[in-house]
A and B are shown apart, each in its own frame.
Chain A
């Protein structure tokens, strides 16, 4: 929880004084005030962060697209082969998407499989990216503590807390510690804690950058996400590094006053720390904005729109293009888009909201293609949960497993990964009732795939990022957890 990154030697000094402080006072934040599990994680991270010191030579970024509310993703990706589709259509009843008519499902193949699938009609550009091999789906993924079946669900399985509430399942996707409500760091943040020394030379701007405000996913033990808006950093309003150049007379005074604060002598260390923090934040915003504004987006077939996911992903793209100026070899982005809790009017809501996703993703991929960065940038979606397959009238309710989208040049595209359920009849082996499906893939596996691609190794550091991973994926296993990234 230290906003300003300091040099390695300072880091060591700080770690040492922190340990001494622990012994003297038991006063370390991690020790007094977080859950036991979090404490263990944080203590582990203290050493691991110091252990990783070699620098990445290549550049990589991951972009987490959060779709809050729980997307009805069994209508984003549907069965298509006759018997599977008929079971789907029968169970979903008035929520089923038709194969024909004015807006039919788009049929897609999956390489290596004889099955075909239906893609929502409002996602034509995603189909194009999918067919180009740069997008894939990961089927029936959700938060689990350990492998769970219908049999052990009702008996011995340790289950995520708070099934199936938004707040809990959102938190689970972000923390990857679904057995805890007091976990305050996310897997992205913990990964950044570990990789910062190797992947981020910027002392002021975190490798975790959010276009959508604070979030648990990026909250780390020592890494705080750098929050930007679609127009860039939050600069110090009214401040001009050349005070006399400020337009408003009061801003000339304000700029001169703030500029000089750092030069004054402070015997009060709280004031000194505050002034140092302020200057660092001001400088960071200034340098970020300079780098951000220097970027020109390329000319592409489907340019970014100025609203919605498009505008957020345009800001992500510009920040990626500014990576050298920001001296960052690794970047973790967070974007939140829309509101997907469609208890009512599911069909019309998805028809009107999915194009926003379709357009944003396509523009982003075309931009990465144009810059030759496609293989280095991976976009993935997360959402609270899938929804009940049965209808409540005009919508669906909270359930569990859902389907995710992964996009980028590194994905094993044109494929549906994981186990897309072949039996969507009521009371099928995964159905907890009303077509609420037990996930056949844990988010830990989904996240481990991304983390390993991003630069983590399958060792104890991965366990610090994903504490439950060993319930699904063996230590030292050589194959990819799922196989959707090359």
Chain B
């Protein structure tokens, strides 16, 4: 559906004009009467769009605050201000929250950090509570993006034991410690993050280079980390131009970034790591330590000279730490690192298919943060460049037309500018939008693993390849689709579709349908969750997340207003007119005389909008 624009809202940023020639797609429109309404709607839509990129879901209150600032000082200025405020907020850490959520219950139920069962559930509780309530939303969102690059799953036995690790901390908390490194480092240099990850006992265990030693007569160094640190954590398989185009060889095939010899060389670099407290004597026996960095035991390190990528040579006879630092520098300064990493962060925050120009701009920020230090890899600069880029805002265009009646029209760019929202983010967005509160006695959110519903859940990536691959293409029309030349490599991807299948497609909607129908998300803590309880627990411990639909209930006597409200809150104003009209036709057929009837009507509208394609696909 196309709408002939009558005039652009005056304050609307000039850069939008550059995309005027694009085909504008699917539209929603709102009836407006005053200029104030126009200004307010515009600001609300832009605030919602921005907060969808930068947080675990816009809340009504946050949207109002940011929209007011946008009206006061301008859209980009307000967004910049918000980001700067976020940069200065202290980090909300996950491991302490996991611990607190267990020890809070110790006086009541008797279980402790060392006796609880189902640690996977406990970790997930801590994660959801932290991301739902933390004020450091941008940091949390960035850490979640990073955790999908440095992907660690919870399958190793060592990660799930109540027994202590070498630091005297229950091992099941180790994944929380690892995640917190990403949280606390989110706004540091990517190089620092790479270093922090590399020396962490969790990663050492996960990719089997803890206790990895130099070659002997019968053994060779473990190549696991050598391969993945290149393929997944820094440069990927193929050389990229800074705009994301793959560098082709003379014969037309992609240019590999490294070969088998390089893997062997890097495997030699990562020899000598043992768990914290390791020395040459106890190297193979020192118990895992997931709270303190791994130790480099130089006697076990391969000290021969090594030739890395781009011809960089590490001379013989150096310490393991020197070798590792220089090897990570070798990857971090590689020409393909900025586009490889920047693209994935864009995919997690904004859109699946950044244009070449967008990626180039973010790569520029990766290479040089523009500060006096000219630092490379500054995550603050990268995140800011991603969120403030015109392309992060362009997909939603807002127009005002006077004829035939005063209409406020929202149009969207469509396929190239979209991203299927991760199911976990759909859930957090829902909880935040409908003012979810926990009825558990501590008020903390106890939301457990969502893998069966979503094939995605914190700490539960099935492998180091994350829940989905950055280049996944779903079956269907996307495969034959030829995108504009703005897109590198001539094809579109949609990673999040990899976890949509004939089971999760239904279950991933059912959780929302049921939460709306019931008014709460259930979480029963007993009996699986408690092994030691004194006195014995005789009844289930409910820990529901209750939702507040009162705003919607109050709007229910005017279904048009109700749907407009939900459209703004959940779809950023992009709910299709055609979907709206079906919904309104159905809603108008429902009675709205009593308070109970209005709640039912509100629930009908909420469950439809929240499961609509306009809500699930972000633009």
Contacts and interface: CB of A to CB of B under 8 A. Distances in A.
A182 B236 contact: no
Nearest to A238: B513
B415 A267 contact: yes
Contacts of B465: 33-34, 182, 184
A27 B475 contact: no
A157 B475 CA distance: 42
A234 interface: yes
Contacts of A237: 506, 509-510, 513-514
B579 A204 contact: no
Given A237-B514, A277-B474, A27 B489 contact: yes
Interface in B556-613: 576, 578-579, 582-583, 586-587, 590, 600-601, 603-605, 607-608, 611-613
B516 to A, nearest CB: 8
Interface in B197-242: 207-208, 218, 224, 227-228, 231-232, 236-238
Nearest to B607: A254
A161 interface: yes
B477 interface: yes
Given A165-B156, A165-B157, A33 B208 contact: no
A273 B478 contact: yes
B254 A26 contact: yes
Interface stretch (B29-37, B321-329, B492-500): B492-500
Given A26-B238, A268-B414, A14 B464 contact: no
A1 B498 contact: yes
B472 A273 contact: no
How many B residues are at the interface, by size bracket? 35 or more
Nearest to B155: A167
Contacts of A21: 473, 479, 490-491
Contacts of A272: 476-477
A161 B475 CA distance: 35
Contact of A167 (B157, B238, B509): B157
B503 A226 contact: yes
Interface in B248-263: 252-254
B502 A270 contact: no
A41 to B, nearest CB: 15
Given A162-B208, A257-B608, A274 B586 contact: no
A1 B494 CA distance: 13
A51 interface: no
Contacts of B237: 26, 31-32
Contacts of A32: 236-238, 469-471
Interface in B274-300: none
Contact of B613 (A2, A162, A275): A275
A25 B475 contact: no
A214 B472 CA distance: 19
Interface string A148-162: 000000011000011
A221 B590 CA distance: 47
A125 interface: no
Interface in B329-355: 352
B462 interface: yes
A99 interface: no
A400 B472 CA distance: 37
Contacts of A277: 474, 476, 497, 500, 505
A26 B336 CA distance: 15
B25 interface: yes
A285 B501 contact: no
A224 B475 CA distance: 13
B469 to A, nearest CB: 4
Contact of A33 (B155, B470, B488, B489): B470
B275 to A, nearest CB: 16
A123 B462 CA distance: 35
A264 B476 contact: no
Interface stretch (A245-253, A425-433, A459-467): A245-253
A297 interface: no
A267 B475 contact: no
B506 A268 contact: no
Nearest to B156: A167
A2 B468 CA distance: 12
A13 interface: yes
B590 A13 contact: no
A229 to B, nearest CB: 10
Interface residues of A, number: 79
Contacts of A371: none
Interface in A240-267: 248-254, 256-258, 260-261, 264-267
Given A250-B607, A256-B586, A24 B477 contact: no
A226 B502 contact: yes
Nearest to A265: B578
Nearest to A11: B475
A483 interface: no
B535 to A, nearest CB: 24
Contacts of B157: 165-167
B491 A3 contact: no
A282 B494 CA distance: 21
A235 B469 contact: no
A290 interface: no
A27 B491 contact: yes
B420 A253 contact: no
A269 B498 CA distance: 15
Nearest to B414: A268
Contact of A281 (B236, B505, B607, B612): B505
Contacts of B513: 236-238, 254
B583 A182 contact: no
Contacts of A25: 246, 471, 488-491
Given A32-B469, A267-B414, A273 B474 contact: yes
Contacts of B167: none
A29 B498 contact: yes
B517 A238 contact: yes
A24 B583 contact: no
Contacts of B617: 268, 270-271, 274
B480 interface: yes
Contacts of A295: none
Contacts of A250: 516-517, 600-601, 603-604, 607
A238 to B, nearest CB: 5
A17 interface: yes
B607 A238 contact: yes
Given A26-B254, A264-B579, A181 B208 contact: yes
A273 B476 contact: yes
Interface centre among B227, B509, B603, B611 (most CB of A within 10 A): B509
A266 B455 CA distance: 26
A90 interface: no
A266 B590 CA distance: 28
Nearest to B26: A267
B451 interface: yes
A12 interface: no
A198 B131 CA distance: 47
Contacts of A280: 502, 505
Interface string B79-101: 00000000000000000000000
Contact of B510 (A14, A155, A165, A234): A234
A238 B603 CA distance: 12
A177 interface: no
Interface string B155-179: 1110000000000000000000000
A35 interface: yes
A286 B480 CA distance: 30
Contacts of A273: 474-478, 494, 497
Contacts of B232: 33
Contacts of A184: 462-463, 465
In the A-B complex, list the 5 residue pairs whose CB atoms are closest, starting with the nearest.
Answer: A25-B489, A281-B505, A253-B604, A250-B604, A3-B501
14 contacts: A1-B498, A21-B491, A24-B490, A32-B236, A155-B218, A182-B224, A224-B502, A234-B506, A250-B601, A266-B26, A268-B619, A269-B414, A269-B481, A274-B497
Given A238-B513, A253-B605, 5 more contacts: A28-B471, A31-B237, A34-B465, A182-B464, A269-B414
